[in-house]
Structure 1
Amino acid sequence: MTADGAVMTGPCCEKDGSSRPLSVVVLGSGAAAMAAVIAATERGAQVHVVERATVGGTCVNVGCVPSKHLVRSAHLQHWCDEHVEISDGCRCDGVPNAHKLHASRQALVERLRWQKYESVLDENPHVTVWHGEASFEDSRTVRVRSLAAQATQTETLLHFDRCLIAVGAEPYIPPIDGLASVPFWTSTEALASDTVPHRLGVVGSSAVALELAQAYARLGSRVTIFARRGLCTRTDPLVGETLMQALLDDDRIRIHCGALVESVQCEDGVFKVTLTTSQAVFMTDALLVASGRRPSTAALNMAAAGVSWHAASGQIPVDTHMRTNVPHIYAAGDCAPMPQLVYVAAAAGTRAAINMTGGEACLDLSLVPWVIFCEPQAAAVGLTEAEAQARGLRTETRTLPITSVPRCIVHGEKFGFLKLVAETPSMRIVGAQAVAAEASDMISTVAVAMRGHLTVADLSGMLLPYLTASEAVKLVAQSFTRDVHQLSCCAG
């Protein structure tokens, strides 16, 4: 048994008693799919991967990797703008070269796609990759239609013992009047652009929306965000309030909360965005629609296999073992009802593969940290104070402003906090929320502490390096019993 509770067995074979390898078909080649392919082949399966687009899925091609490259580039540009005179006469003024940034971003994507996806598949003798559109023929067969032109299109039938649906998700397009007839951006186009629009409108307040909005603002765009509600509305309200304050500190960003877009028009390259709520009209040179993502399941013909799915949401219900209602067909990642996070998808894919090949593994989603990579970052793990109390827990909380964290002081951070939620009387940590330049590191530290069921006292007594983001975790824990403002800067 592994540390995560998975029961490992030897090389798998079909239960008919034959010695032939188990035949597994994996639909997709993103995070969940790749994790499953690796785990299944390690356990003796013969795997067929079907991919209709580019190998690697969302994260490496049009998601995490290019977006974080863009965010980092925008951060460096912003830093240069704020610090034209660095030291000893060194200067870093000038305007960003969007074409070079795009070329660098694309080179990174191609390098990582080859290193982490294409070469892994190509060099595995137990894997066959099929490029085409997959659909179920029955509960044991997948039909693959090649991506060639209609006249030369071919079809292949793949018979399987087990199947994993890991087709991921695609941008959700809201029903806005006129939107379908204008050349709007999704995150895919925003990350592929080699230009920076003078004015950018952003529909949505998702993590993707906020990250790209700030990045483009720092590269020179005047950005207007149309948020249907507020920011980060599913966590502690202080997160959204603080992030809003930080984003609006940039005079190139405007945020309209409670904004419902009624219609969109485009004439001579200029977008006209009309709001339902106020009938206000906004003019932009590009329009990014980032209202979330929807599972890419509609074309799979799951009825032929007897697989249940929710047509409205596109999601495929699964149990904690990633099984659908058809016992030998599994689903994992963004197409299943779980957080749309790449590390969750990979964990789900691995567990699906273990279960498909005779093992036993469950996916525990009780402790899932998340991060929005704006500057400052927003991050959280576990329960908010309100969620804990709604579950009948008695709680005690402390909120530490970043102006009390040595590293944040040195870096000149203006906006942010770290909040710790503890259950009483045990004082075990049950949640945390943060807004800070390195909130991801703070929350990762708390997540490890929560996995170990640590208490406030445990965190207070830990030795953490001075002038690190993680030191904030110790300081906020100490604030439960002491006034940290009265301590020396590295007091134990």
Structure 2
Amino acid sequence: MPFVKEALLLAGENRLFTIDVLVVGAGPGGYVAAIRAAQLGKSVMIADKSEWGGICLNSGCIPSKALISAAHSYEAVSASQAMGITAEQVKVDFAKVQSWKNGIVKKMAGGIAGLLSGNQIQAIHGEITLINDHEAILNNGLEQLHIRFEYCILATGSHPIELKSLPFGGRILSSADALELQEIPGSLIVIGGGYIGIELGQTFSKFGAKVTILEGSERILPGFEQEMAQAVAKRLNKKGVTVHHQAIAISAKQTSKDVTVTFLVNGEERQITADYVLVAVGRRPNTDSGLDRLGLRQMEGGLVHIDRQCRTSLPNIFAVGDIVAGPALAHKASYEGKVAAEAIAGMSSEVDYRAIPMVVFSDPELASVGLSEAEAAAQGIDIAVGKFPYAANGRALSLQANEGFVKLVADRATGIILGAQIAGAEASGLIAEMGLAVEMGATLQDVAITIHAHPTLGEMTMEAAEAALGYPIHQLSSRGSRRT
């Protein structure tokens, strides 16, 4: 590993490192912060007790999306009769799927190691203990290294929440465990209808597992608008996935072959048995390792309090990613990492979350940025809304992806785009244009007059902008035709 050997030799000589910036955690918040700090002329050390890339790369974002892609390909090959394509005896070699997925992870982890090395960052595996606001001890299993730093960026991430009634182990899986399964379960119970539960539940369903989802609230994906979540619920129903709402799991009993979960629905006790149970009820910040001893101000749930430059209550210590307030998103962590590094270098960078996109790689995909209709209304803004259906887009029809919509929310008086919501194929990519629109304060007119290539899914943002302005081309206006 780059710099590890050199670091150990130096430690053997005087056992003391002096560094400008110590980054604790090598996930998408940490390694990006380290690179940006190095670019700005700082000497940087990054330490992580696990692999480069953190949970996102090794047991979260990347491996899950690889499995989602494989499941989508399998479904597409198995169900293309409408296009005139028939494939017989389509099979899944799940061992090869896992090998392919692991190859992607390995390649990307190697890429991060190369970036750290290329930016002259000392990268060391080991567990960091902060002694005070300028000193730390790193234990790498062989010896302890004493580190003195001017600044520190905490990017320690989060871990899956474990239910006392369903502790991880055996056939009760965390999301990381589920991604490492060596077989496609015949049946799977998913506890939690948030983005992790839905993504993995749909994936295994497409591979052929019988999936049941237990969601504690009234609907799945509560962080998204109801009409967006309904698009996913509709697809789940088509695939035969059973969803129990307002369902609370209270216990589980395992055997060598299966696991039985007892749960409550509206006070009624029920049971269900499956090969495995996936517990996906959220994540908890990794801030339980003595940060309170330093006097860092913390918030409810163990989150670290930061200012708009990601600075904690100790002026030389910064925090980013899952351990600070806001959604636990890799791209949010990376963004905060850049801001923290730039603040350390004396720049005036500050966080601005208006254009942070939210994405679920469900089927159909969901993506949102900025304000929703409800959020804008709650702020008392008079809004104009434009909506365009996938069913009216030629490219969507050619992709057999006619379910979904693109919706824009704008200030009626100024035309400035406040937010966008997309439910449908490739929503994860389409939302980038609207993120830029929100970030730069673009108007509906800006998007409407931008020439979009035909035939593409991207045309729908233009069509939605035209609808909001009152002159839709490829759908009838509720106002009727008008001349301007």
Q: Same fold (TM over 0.5)?
A: yes
Contact 1:139 1:306 in 2 (8 A): no
Which segment drifts farther, 177-186 or 390-399?
A: 177-186
CA RMSD of aligned residues (A): 2.1
Q: Which residue of 1 aligns with 2:205?
A: 217
In 1: Cα distance, 2:353 partner to 2:472 partner: 35
- The reply on whether 1:240 has 2:232 as its aligned counterpart is no
Return the letter of the residue paired with 2:186: H
Q: Which residue of 1 aligns with 2:72?
A: 75
- The reply on whether 1:58 has 2:61 as its aligned counterpart is no
- Segments of structure 2 that go 5 or more residues without pairing to the other structure are 1-16, 477-484
5 Å-filtered alignment, 1:26-425, equals 26-83=23-80, 91=87, 93-115=89-111, 117-125=112-120, 127-146=121-140, 148=141, 154-175=143-164, 177-180=165-168, 182-229=170-217, 230-251=219-240, 253-277=241-265, 278-299=268-289, 301-310=290-299, 313-425=301-413
In 1: Cα distance, 2:236 partner to 2:51 partner: 34
In 2: Cα distance, 1:338 partner to 1:159 partner: 30
In 1: Cα distance, 2:432 partner to 2:162 partner: 32
In 1: Cα distance, 2:359 partner to 2:430 partner: 11
In 1: Cα distance, 2:340 partner to 2:109 partner: 23
Return the letter of the residue paired with 1:118: A
Q: Secondary structure at the match of 2:409?
A: strand
In 2: Cα distance, 1:478 partner to 1:218 partner: 37
Q: Secondary structure at the match of 2:325?
A: coil
- The 3 A distance-change label for structure 1 pair 194 and 257 is same
In 2: Cα distance, 1:359 partner to 1:396 partner: 37
In 2: Cα distance, 1:223 partner to 1:216 partner: 8
Contact 1:321 1:352 in 2 (8 A): yes
- Segments of structure 1 that go 5 or more residues without pairing to the other structure are 1-19, 488-492
Which segment drifts farther, 90-99 or 106-115?
A: 90-99
In 1: Cα distance, 2:287 partner to 2:382 partner: 42
Number of aligned positions between the proteins = 456
- The 3 A distance-change label for structure 1 pair 296 and 193 is same
Q: Which residue of 2 aligns with 1:473?
A: 461
In 1: Cα distance, 2:229 partner to 2:475 partner: 29
Return the letter of the residue paired with 1:290: A
TM-superposition CA deviations, 1:141-173 (whole Å, max 9, x none): 112222x3xxxx532221111111011111112
Contact 1:441 1:470 in 2 (8 A): no
Shift of residue 486, structure 1, vs aligned partner: 5.4
TM-superposition CA deviations, 1:31-70 (whole Å, max 9, x none): 1111111111122222221211112201211112111110
Contact 1:441 1:469 in 2 (8 A): no
Q: Which residue of 2 aligns with 1:16?
A: none
In 1: Cα distance, 2:126 partner to 2:117 partner: 17
Runs of 4+ aligned residues of structure 1 deviating over 6 Å after TM superposition are none
Q: Which residue of 2 aligns with 1:11?
A: none
- The 3 A distance-change label for structure 1 pair 447 and 121 is closer
In 2: Cα distance, 1:269 partner to 1:85 partner: 39
Shift of residue 433, structure 1, vs aligned partner: 1.2
Contact 2:19 2:147 in 1 (8 A): no
In 2: Cα distance, 1:361 partner to 1:397 partner: 32
TM-score by length of 1: 0.88
Contact 2:386 2:466 in 1 (8 A): no
Which segment drifts farther, 50-59 or 397-406?
A: 397-406
Which segment drifts farther, 206-215 or 322-331?
A: 206-215
Return the letter of the residue paired with 2:95: H
Counting aligned pairs with the same residue, the percent is: 26
Return the letter of the residue paired with 2:131: E
Q: Which residue of 1 aligns with 2:8?
A: none
Q: Secondary structure at the match of 1:156?
A: strand
In 2: Cα distance, 1:386 partner to 1:144 partner: 48
Return the letter of the residue paired with 2:233: M
TM-superposition CA deviations, 1:376-431 (whole Å, max 9, x none): 10111111111101111011223322212222222222421222212122222111
Return the letter of the residue paired with 2:374: A
Contact 1:185 1:287 in 2 (8 A): yes
Contact 1:139 1:305 in 2 (8 A): yes
Shift of residue 441, structure 1, vs aligned partner: 3.0
Contact 1:182 1:265 in 2 (8 A): no
In 1: Cα distance, 2:369 partner to 2:119 partner: 37
In 2: Cα distance, 1:187 partner to 1:396 partner: 40
Q: Which residue of 2 aligns with 1:15?
A: none
TM-score by length of 2: 0.89
